[in-house]
Amino acid sequence: MLKMPWKWNLIVMLIMAVYGTIVNLALLMVILSNQHLRTVSNTLVGNLALADTIMFVFSVPSDLVHHFVLNWPDNSFGNFLCKVSGSSWSLAMALSVASLTAVSIERFCSICWNVHAKRYIFILLIVWLFSLSWTVPVLVWSSVVRYGPYLSICHVLPWWHDYVARGFFTAGFVLKYVIPLLVITCCYVGTAITLAQSTPASSVTVRARRRLAIVVLILNISFAICWLPNHAIILHFFYGDIYETYKVSYALFLTFIEIAHVLVYVNSLLNPIVVFTISDAHRKPLVHFVRSRLCRQAPASNRLDRYAEFDQDGIVSETECVDVKT
């Protein structure tokens, strides 16, 4: 067993993995169980929750192997775990950024141009095709490489071609971070201008749309902040002077790597918390589902639609419900 210099991150990751898996599955349950939430925006939010669940379920176990095992298992199971480790991380990230970008574009088209996307299956197909286009190469390339009789390492890209890895990660940074954030920013500038110019006659609709816009905006900001250090470290490996970095402060650099790694899991944990905190349409069904289970009341499925569709004043509480009615 390898004694690693960091201990705090393992405890934090395990706690986040347990809690994050629960809350993301809860968000998926609410969206799938509530007919009024089966819309394009909420489908993409559910897709984001699925990506976060994949991150926790598949990536955290492989992280534990990295921390506690000196040599990666050089057998069929080790090779399988290596492929799962790299591909799950790539799939979760691509799904997250594609879902966030798609929901931002959908909100912009709905609010600014009054164009409502109806074929959410087609949108989901595009999101998944984009995500798989980044995941399949990692799945194929990932393998365990042995260095002599005592050391074996899991490589997620062809280890004999540095230019392949450099090109792949550089393209990933541009296509899965820079361009999506630019698109999201443009969408939210247009959305904010349109909502600010809305007439008082549509105050209920505007208020609901603003609430959903705030939810998606916070999700995007969280993604941008939490994933930036990870991208910075990867780009530094390929374009920076690693040896000079190690000479400056090896321990500090390793600590920064661990913080960047944990921030990715923080993002996956924050996403469902933000949705449940701000959105009544998502929080109320969950609260009443838990209460019905604890108090053994009427089946929660009979109560989900009622609490998701209306607030205490009998007014539709979310944009998605407004879109269904109009």
- Looking at per-residue confidence, does 7 or 126 come out higher? 126
Using alpha carbons, list the distances in angstroms from residue 12 to 4, 94, 267. Answer: 15, 24, 13
Q: What is the DSSP letter of 58?
A: I
Q: How many residues does the chain have?
A: 326
Residue 160, pLDDT > 70, answer no
Nearest Cα neighbor of 50 from 33, 26, 15 is 26
pLDDT-wise least confident of 173-182, 246-255, 299-308: 299-308
Using alpha carbons, list the distances in angstroms from residue 100 to 49, 80, 105, 215. Answer: 11, 30, 9, 11
- The string over 94-121, giving b where at least 16 C-beta atoms fall within 10 Å of a residue's C-beta and e elsewhere, is bbbbbbbbbbbbbbbbbbeeeeebeebe
Q: Name the token pair of 236.
A: 């530094």
- Looking at per-residue confidence, does 323 or 184 come out higher? 184
**81, amino acid identity:** L
pLDDT score recorded for residue 111 = 82
Nearest Cα neighbor of 64 from 1, 144, 137, 108 is 1
- Looking at per-residue confidence, does 310 or 234 come out higher? 234
Residue 200, pLDDT > 70, answer no
Residue 307, pLDDT > 80, answer no
Residue 321, pLDDT > 50, answer no
Q: Residue ranges of the domains in the chain?
A: 8-325
Q: If pLDDT is split at 50, 70 and 90, which confidence band does 242 have?
A: low
Mean pLDDT, the chain, rounded, equals: 80
pLDDT score recorded for residue 326 = 31
pLDDT score recorded for residue 243 = 59
**Element containing residue 173 per DSSP (H, E):** helix 162-173
Residue 225 CA to residue 221 CA, distance in Å, equals: 6
Got the DSSP string for 104-155?
HHHHHHHHHS------HHHHHHHHHHHHHHHHHHHHHH-EEEEETTTEEEEE
Note the pLDDT tens digit of each residue in 39-83. Answer: 888 899 999 999 999 999 988 888 877 777 768 888 888 888 889
Residue 25 CA to residue 129 CA, distance in Å, equals: 23
Query: What sign does the dihedral 144-147-150-151 (CA atoms) show?
Result: negative
pLDDT score recorded for residue 244 = 64
Residue 207 CA to residue 152 CA, distance in Å, equals: 56
Q: If pLDDT is split at 50, 70 and 90, which confidence band does 161 have?
A: low
pLDDT score recorded for residue 64 = 79
Residue 324, pLDDT > 50, answer no
CB-CB contact of 258 with 6 (8 Å): yes
pTM score: 0.82
pLDDT score recorded for residue 268 = 94
Residue 319 CA to residue 324 CA, distance in Å, equals: 9
CB-CB contact of 281 with 305 (8 Å): no
Q: What is the DSSP letter of 38?
A: -
Using alpha carbons, list the distances in angstroms from residue 198 to 186, 191, 316. Answer: 19, 11, 18
> Which superfamily is assigned to 8-325 in CATH?
Rhodopsin 7-helix transmembrane proteins (1.20.1070.10)
∠ CA 320-322-326, nearest 5°, is 120
Residue 5, pLDDT > 60, answer no
**104, amino acid identity:** S
Per DSSP, what are the bridge partners of residue 143? 155
CB-CB contact of 104 with 187 (8 Å): yes
